[in-house]
Amino acid sequence: MNLILIGFMGSGKSTLARSLSSLFHFHLVEMDELVYQKTKTSNMHEVFALGGEKLLREMELCIAQEYAGKTNQVISTGGGIVLDPTPLNIFKQAGARIIFLNAPFDLVAKRLEHDRSRPLFTHLAQAKKIYEDRLPLYLQAADEIINIENQSPYELALIIQVRSL
């Protein structure tokens, strides 16, 4: 069984993935880190400089193909994984559970206020437009939705564990 976390930048996928991996004793897979390994880069600005957003999306598809057949993983995806339905469909066909972290835009904007690591979150108005465009894609792809308010990652992990009983 694989748990796939989807959601906008700053929704807390990576932190929750760490809590889930210790709670479920699952391998932790951080897609952005795998993209860096595969492209021999060390951050997302370098990935974009090398091949633009197109390279990122190609790498995400490769990673889905490579990891969908493995089991007992919690996979933290990049926020744009929903732009092409193929990667998540590959995971779904292999029986994965797709969990959408539904965080309000104001919350992610606050969290990323001083964070310059994301090429697609540099201007607030542009980021808000991306958020609004993607919301229906996350909702459509999700098997379940977790509304993010001010719960700790551990509390969120417990909610997911209880729902899987």
Residues that bind ligand S3P (CB under 6 A): 9, 13, 32, 44, 78-80, 118-120
Q: How far is the CB of 160 from ligand S3P (least distance, A)?
A: 18
Q: How far apart are CA 99 and CA 13, in angstroms?
A: 10
Q: How many CB atoms are closer than 10 A to CB 124? A: 12
- Closest CB 79 distance from ligand S3P, rounded Å: 3
Instruction: For the CB of residue 120, give the shortest distance to ligand S3P in the complex, in Å.
Output: 5
* Residue 140, H or E segment: helix 124-141
Question: Which of 104, 93, 161 minimizes the C-alpha distance to 138?
Answer: 104
Whose Cβ is closer to ligand S3P: residue 95's or residue 136's?
Answer: 136
Cβ at position 165, least distance to ligand S3P in Å: 28
Identity of the residue, 78 or 97, whose beta carbon is nearer to ligand S3P in the bound complex: 78
Residues 84 and 112: their CA atoms lie apart, in Å, by 25
Whichever of 66 and 164 has its CB closer to ligand S3P, that residue is 66
Tokens of 61: 């598809």
CA distance 3 to 50: 30
- Given the complex with ligand S3P, which of 13 and 97 has the nearer CB atom? 13
